Amino acid sequence: MKKLLDTETQTMKSIFIIVDSGTAIRNILRTDVFKILKTQRNTKIVIFSPIIDEDFKKEFCAENIFVEQAPKWKPNLIINILRSLKKDLWANNANLFTFKHKREKRKGRFIRKFALKTLVGKSSNRRLDSYIKFLERLELFFTPSIADRYFKKYKPDLICYTSIYSKYLCIEIEGQKRGTKTICFIQSWDNPTSKGPFPVRPDRVVVWNNILKDEVVNHHDFAEDEVFISGVPQFDIYVDKANFLPKDKFFKKWGLDTEKKLITYTTGTPGTAPFDHEVIELLYEAFQKDSFINPSQLLIRLHPKDKYSYYKKFENKPYLVIQRPGRPAQTNDNWNPTREDMYGLAELMNYSDVVINVASTITIDAVAFDTPVVNVAFDGHKTKPYKDSCKRYYDYDHYKNIVKTGGVKIAYSIGELVDHTNLYLKNPAIDAEGRKIIREEQCWKLDGNSGRRIAEYVLQYLNEDR
């Protein structure tokens, strides 16, 4: 990677940064990505965000930085049909377990089935690719120019967006129509295998690691030199613990007991893990029965999209703490995390003795600190068929890469959950080699420079001739 480009001798250029979720705001605006980009004197930055209140503008606006409301547009019937058909074609072409499983649940309309069978037949992968690209051109044709005024006002040279599967994609589509250069940051490691074809194709893609690069190249038809590996920008703060609260102060802040082991349960969304509160009930019953080999306490960290009403029954319980991260916001994931939230998660992962979750990205957060992880593979009080059970998550393409390392334990019952947790409490070094593999494969480089690498890549591409 070249040194950071000096834009002072160049003409003023304009970058659009589109963030539609608290996750994207955290990963880009509250890391070195934005910190470095905003220092470029001859670069104008326009942030498109669902949050545009005074606090947000005060935090990010400057002489060369502007904040605009992210425009919204609801796709019409034609666009929805084209996108749905494109997804079915892509599912047959890519043959990925995760996405095909999701699409199979949605199939049932005779017309769609007939159209898909007619198009696919004995078609080669190349022919299917041509069908998909034709559908993309049709979609572009039928999409109105919603964001035209922003292009006239700011004249962007580069569009950077963070949610390739956003609901609206107004600016991204307008940029494609105008031939504006685009970079997409893949903000979640499951996206290339679980979300289907990219609704809007970027010119360049930034990913965390080699696994994601291979997926983008192999399943989304990108050339090797169009995909850039950066590492995980929000993990940059994980490297230097000097800014962490000391353990005693962190425990005091959250009402925890420094004499007890800390078992952390991080919940998922109501859509992916609606049974989390039931698992926690069973886990808490195990606490009451002194099932753990060490005096322990339980911290429940809620997902920003989770429903707090499920967990009110756990309020004021002994040796149990509920943590609600971030601030509620009108974003795709319902939160606006602060730098304090980012450090709070880092501290929690660092000071936890065991982290429990259902096939979550939190697994990687924990493993970044070499903290043992137990994954839940049962559905609370009920046993569900495989197609509806969380068991299937461990066969998903992205999570299989975690499972095969042997770096986590998977619990198929409350008994196994307690046993695995006790195993790690007794000897946290168990599965350390597997956790090392996870760090190397998923984090790529934990060196504190992922945000810088992204910023340098953005500036390099901004100043390249098209």
Q: Six-digit token pair at 294?
A: 């060490």
- Shared domain for 395 and 362, answered yes or no, is yes
Residues 159 and 280 in one domain: no
69 and 100 part of one domain: no
Q: Are residues 409 and 378 in the same domain?
A: yes
CATH number at residue 39: 3.40.50.2000
Q: What is the pTM of this model?
A: 0.92
At 143 the pLDDT is 84
Q: Please tell me whether residues 316 and 284 are part of one structural domain.
A: yes
Position 422 in a domain: yes
Domain that holds residue 329: 240-443
pLDDT of residue 154: 96
**81 and 224 both lie in a single domain:** no
Are residues 277 and 424 located together in one domain of the fold? yes
Per-residue pLDDT of the chain (466 residues; tens, 9 = 90+): 544 444 444 588 999 999 999 999 999 999 999 999 999 989 999 999 999 999 999 999 999 999 999 998 888 888 888 888 888 888 877 878 888 777 776 655 555 555 566 655 555 566 777 888 888 888 888 888 889 999 999 999 999 998 888 878 889 999 999 999 999 999 899 999 998 999 889 999 999 999 999 999 999 999 999 999 999 999 999 999 999 999 999 999 999 999 999 999 999 999 999 999 999 999 999 999 999 999 999 999 999 889 999 999 999 999 999 999 878 888 888 889 989 999 999 999 999 999 999 999 999 999 999 999 999 999 999 999 999 999 999 999 999 999 999 999 999 999 999 999 999 999 999 999 999 999 999 999 999 999 999 999 999 999 988 7
- Which pLDDT score is estimated for 102? 76
- Structural domain contains residue 2: no
